[in-house]
Structure 1
């Protein structure tokens, strides 16, 4: 199935990483807080949103940092995605 976001929305997939504590214990992704680093998998067209011109600054494949509780989580074909507005992205990682 294919997702095509509308307006100024983007679809992201959270990046799960393992973390090692100072004492050497490996924490799997499920044992930590919700990750804030994600990969953009789809970008809306932008255009006129609420009477304002919105230019999309993100593209597919970008790594971004998002607000902790932003967006709507969905599950498609066994994969979890989040749909959120471009304004909920805090930073783009290079």
Structure 2
């Protein structure tokens, strides 16, 4: 699938949240309140506001925003520009 966001929307690959115990045991995913809110920008719409961010940047976004999309086993979100809180440098 080739997903192209439109307007001031952003396609973000959601970072995988993986928790391990000290002995290396992986703990299964938590509740919605523990939802990961870090991702990498993989596509941008052509909106005017998007000049502040670039493809490949890691961002922190509003925890309960966006539309979830799954493609080839990967989780993505389509976000509005206003839902981006910060760029991780």
Q: In the alignment, which of 52, 60, 64 is matched to residue 65 of structure 1?
A: 60
Change (3 A) 1:15 1:87: same
**Structure 2: runs of 5 or more not aligned:** none
TM-score by length of 1: 0.77
| Between structures 1 and 2, the one with greater strand share | 1
CA distance in 1, matches of 2:50, 2:76: 23
- 1:28-67 equivalent positions in 2, closer than 5 A: 28=27, 30-31=29-30, 33-47=34-48, 54-67=49-62
TM-score (norm 2): 0.80
- CA–CA distance in structure 1, aligned partners of residues 42 and 50 of structure 2: 18
C-alpha distance in 1, partners of 2:62/2:15?
14
2:73 and 2:85 mapped to 1: Cα distance?
27
Instruction: Give secondary structure in 2 for the equivalent of 1:56.
Output: helix
